[in-house]
Amino acid sequence: MPAFKTLDDLSDISGKRVLVRVDLNVPVSDGKVTDATRIERVAPTILELSKKGAKVILLAHFGRPKDGPSPDLSLSLIAPAVEQVLGHKVASASDCIGPAAAEAVGKMKDGDILLLENTRFHKGEEKNDPAFTKALAENGDIYVNDAFSAAHRAHASTEGLAHLLPAYAGRTMQAELEALEKGLGKPARPVVAIVGGAKVSTKIDLLMNLVKRVDALVIGGGMANTFIAARGTNVGKSLCEHDLAATAKQIMIEAASAGCAIVLPDDGVVAREFKAGAANEVVDINAIPADAMVLDVGPKSVEAVNDWISKAQTLVWNGPLGAFEIEPFDTATVAAAKHAAERTEEGKLISVAGGGDTVSALNHAGVADDFTYISTAGGAFLEWMEGKELPGVAVLEKTA
C-alpha cells in the first residue's frame, strides 16, 4: 500500500483553519441519534486538532437530499450528539459555503470546533463540481479526510478538496488503511476469508478478487445455496439464485486455478418457516427436504470453518453464515465469531471485518471489541475487498 500523509506530518497548526471530512451519517429516530459509533470513531482526530490549536471545521453529509436543503436532513440534528461525544462545544453554520459559512468560520478562535451544514444540500458535492469545491476550500488552509466510509466516492468534500489544499489522512482513516493493509495488502498467511449474505449477485466482484488473494474462501449465508445448487444439489425452498449457476462455477474454477480452497457447508439447519423458534433440524447438505429451506450452516460445517480459522494467521470477514437475526439460526455465526475472537485475543490471528450485517452480527455475538479491526465503512470496505481503487484514498498518497 502506498504511503499516506497523516496528522504526524502536520506541524504547528495553531490558528490554522482545518477542514475535516468526517462521516456523521448516523441513524436518527425522533430527532435523536440512536447509534453514535461513527461520531466516536472520528472524535480522536477532531480533539487532537483542537488541542493543537487548530480551528476545526467539520464537513459531512447526512442522508440523500434530492432537492436542496431539507430540515429533516440538517446536520443541526446531529450537532448535540457530536458535542456530547466530544465533550466540547460545537458551533453550527446554516450552510457549508458562502456568507453563512464564512461568517461562522470568521468567528472561530483557536481550538474551536465548527460543524458546517450538510454538503449534499448542494448538487456540486456529488458532482465534484470545481466551483463548489473551490467554495469549500475558501474556508480552509488544510484538508484532513477522516471518512474512509465515503472514500469510494469522488465527491467534492472527499476527493476534490485534496487537489486544492494540503491533504492528510485523519486518525480513523489511518487506522482503517493500516488494518486493511494487514488484511489483504501484505497479510500474514494463511489468509482465510469468510463471505456470507443473501445473494451472490451483490458480491461477484468481491468473490472473484478474493479467490486470487486468499488461501481459503468460506462461503455462507443464502449465497452458499447458489454454489451448492450449481454443483447439482437440490436446495429445496432455500434462497438461491439459480440463474447464477454458471457464475458460481466460474468462481470455483478461478479458485482452483489460484490454489484457493472453496469451503461450502457440509450440513445445514433447515426449517419450513422463517421465524424465531421455528421447528428445525440438521440435515446433510445433500439431503435438503424439498419443502424446507436452509437458514444456517450445521455443526459439521461450523467445525470445518473453525478449523480454517485455527489454521489462519489472517482472517477477513464480510457477511454472516446464516440468518443470524433470528434464533436459533444465529448459532453458526456466533460460534465462528467467538472462535475468531479467541484466536485474536491469543495473538494468533489478525482479524479484520466489515460491512453492515457483519458489524451487527459480531455485536450480536458479543465479540466486536475483540477483533483486530472492524470497519464501519460499508460500501467503501466492500469496494476495497473487491480490489477497486478508492478515489478518496488515492488522492492522499504521498507523491514523494
Q: One of 17, 21, 38, 203 is an active-site residue; which one?
A: 38
Q: One of 127, 356, 387, 388 is an active-site residue; which one?
A: 356
Is 189 a residue of the active site? Answer: no
Is the pLDDT confidence value at 2 over 70?
A: no
Question: Alpha-carbon distance 344 to 353, whole Å?
Answer: 12
* pLDDT at residue number 66: 86
**pLDDT band per the 50, 70, 90 thresholds, residue 181:** confident
Q: What phi and psi, each to the nearest 5 degrees, are found at residue 159?
A: -135, -45
Is the pLDDT confidence value at 371 over 70?
A: yes
Query: Do residues 44 and 172 make contact, with C-beta atoms less than 8 angstroms apart?
Result: yes
Percent of the chain with pLDDT over 70: 99
Q: One of 98, 111, 379, 387 is an active-site residue; which one?
A: 379
Q: Which of 313, 307, 291, 385 is nearest to 339 (CA)?
A: 307
Is 379 a residue of the active site? Answer: yes
Is 356 a residue of the active site? Answer: yes
Check residues 357 and 329 and name the one with the higher pLDDT.
Answer: 329
Tell me the per-residue pLDDT of 274-325, one tens digit each, with 9 for 90 and over. 999 999 999 999 999 999 999 999 999 999 999 999 999 999 999 999 999 9
Is 63 a residue of the active site? Answer: no
For the whole model, what pTM was predicted?
A: 0.87
Angstrom distances, CA of residue 300 to CA of 250, 261, 307, 317, 376: 26, 17, 11, 20, 31
Average pLDDT value for the chain? 95
* pLDDT at residue number 3: 84
* pLDDT at residue number 399: 62
Tell me the per-residue pLDDT of 54-80, one tens digit each, with 9 for 90 and over. 999 999 999 999 888 999 999 999 999
Question: Alpha-carbon distance 271 to 262, whole Å?
Answer: 25
Q: Which three cell numbers stand for residue 176?
A: 482503517
* pLDDT at residue number 180: 85
Is the pLDDT confidence value at 1 over 70?
A: no
Tell me the per-residue pLDDT of 112-157, one tens digit each, with 9 for 90 and over. 999 999 999 999 999 999 999 999 999 999 999 999 999 999 999 9
Pairing mode, strands 267-271 and 216-219: unpaired
* pLDDT at residue number 366: 96
* pLDDT at residue number 294: 98
**pLDDT band per the 50, 70, 90 thresholds, residue 162:** very high
Check residues 126 and 184 and name the one with the higher pLDDT.
Answer: 126
Q: One of 53, 127, 134, 199 is an active-site residue; which one?
A: 199
Angstrom distances, CA of residue 178 to CA of 22, 38, 171, 173, 380: 18, 18, 10, 9, 15
Q: Which three cell numbers stand for residue 318?
A: 464480510
